Amino acid sequence: MRIEVTIFPYRQDSAELFETIAHLPWAAFLDSCHPYSEQGRYDILSADPRSVLITQGEQTRILGSGGSMSLSTDDPFQLVSDALGTIQPGVQDLPFCGGAIGYFGYDLGRRLESLPSLAEDREQLPEMAVGIYDWALVVDHQQQRSWLVGQSTARLERLRQQLLSAGEPAAKPASHSPYRVLGEISSNMNRDEYLASLSKIKQYILDGDCYQVNFSQRFSVSAKGDPWQAYKGLRQLNAAPFAAYLNTPNCQIMSSSPERFLQLRNGLVESKPIKGTAPRAEDPIEDKMLAEMLKNSPKDQAENLMIVDLLRNDLGKVCATGSVSVPELFKLESFARVHHLVSKVCGKLATGENALSLLRACFPGGSITGAPKLRAMEIIEELEPHRRGIYCGSIGYISFDGDMDTNIAIRTMVHAQGITRLWAGGGIVADSDSEAEYQETCHKASALLDLLRRKEQINAEYG
């Protein structure tokens, strides 16, 4: 497989480029939110994959070129690995040279663990949707350079001309339509119900069932129009380095995630779990005070450390003995609406393991389950009224050269069947202040909720 690489004119905002392909089948935009975020570097844009894998329940549909279709009950992670084929030489300095892009939903964890079926699956979306893409536009904002990579010279030239038309009126699809919110935003539980569930979680902790449980509420609202228009607003209001927009036949995903789940580069693994949150303040002095309080909070540090230990254990399943380390602990990182405590857990992938076995060993991420993972997931299933679906799963890529980068799908909206849904949660430990935990979910969801509450203004301001 020969990979063609051509230099492409750099643009500061990749959203202008993606607009030219956003209407294509399975369009995918892995977005560092430049120029609105200082923390991101690479953007990856692609569409029209050569094959797709869609897992729902025990079955995976594999759709190939020419309309071919096959079904499999094999492990979905292994199926993606098989679809990628033998690891190929990469392209120097490029994180992605074609490969898999898509999502692995939280409930894909049911293929790995035996869990009860208590929460309602309102969305009925696939647990996994991954395309195998043989081309991509890769943008490096640090070097201010872009490359078009792919396997077909003729196709790359057509795509090059299409992308070069960015900004021209003819480049926008005729189906472009405003995104409109049609009613009031509602949660799947009120404050009292949320606090009652937290009381049950604390009792489980006191009984010794678990140490921490990540508990969330879900917001939803009727909406119509083009979700891409909403995403353009979201990336300005809540810029994040691991953001993404995915356009699948079943749903559109708008993620402004600040959290890296797993990165694999040349056999080296990095995870950056987030645990510990404080709101931002407009006043600089108050904002600094809130940040310092979070940084020095024993409760938040303990919460973070529990997840670091869980991740060390997960990485230990597939990393070389003695290679797992924690080079950063409780580092303060600030985003548009919140401050976070972020740690870094690293390792060296063991011989015989690959990106998909790494993802499988750590899935779903411990920062959005709790510890121990299986018991926390059982409690989540018991107390959250609805299945999480894509929320708290992972979005990202696995390149043909074996490298990978994925997020934790938090600060994420999913639009399907005329409904836009979003979630917010937090880690509950023995000494959690229940009212403060409830308010934390509101802080985390604030940018997404603010965007939806603008209703008619969304298209006017960002379209």
Instruction: Exactly one of 232, 272, 275, 444 is catalytic; name it.
Output: 275
100: helix, strand or coil: strand
Residue burial 210-229, b: 16+ Cβ < 10 Å; e: rest? bbbbbbbbbbbbebebbbbb
Instruction: Exactly one of 19, 123, 127, 259 is catalytic; name it.
Output: 259
Respond yes or no: is residue 378 known to be catalytic.
no
Write out the DSSP string of 361-402.
HHPSPGGGTEESHHHHHHHHHHHSSB--TTTTSEEEEEETTS
The CB-side HSE value for 44 (13 A sphere, CA atoms) comes to 30
Respond yes or no: is residue 232 known to be catalytic.
no
**Cβ–Cβ < 8 Å for 371, 231:** no
Residues 137 and 148: their CA atoms lie apart, in Å, by 5
Residues 190 and 305: their CA atoms lie apart, in Å, by 30
Q: What angle do CA 118, 189, 255 make, to 5 degrees?
A: 85
Report residue 223 as tokens: 């909406």
* Tokens 């015989």, residue located: 352
Residues 170 and 163: their CA atoms lie apart, in Å, by 12
Q: What is the largest CA-CA distance in the chain?
A: 64
189: helix, strand or coil: coil
**Cβ–Cβ < 8 Å for 246, 234:** no
Which residues does the annotation mark as catalytic?
259, 275
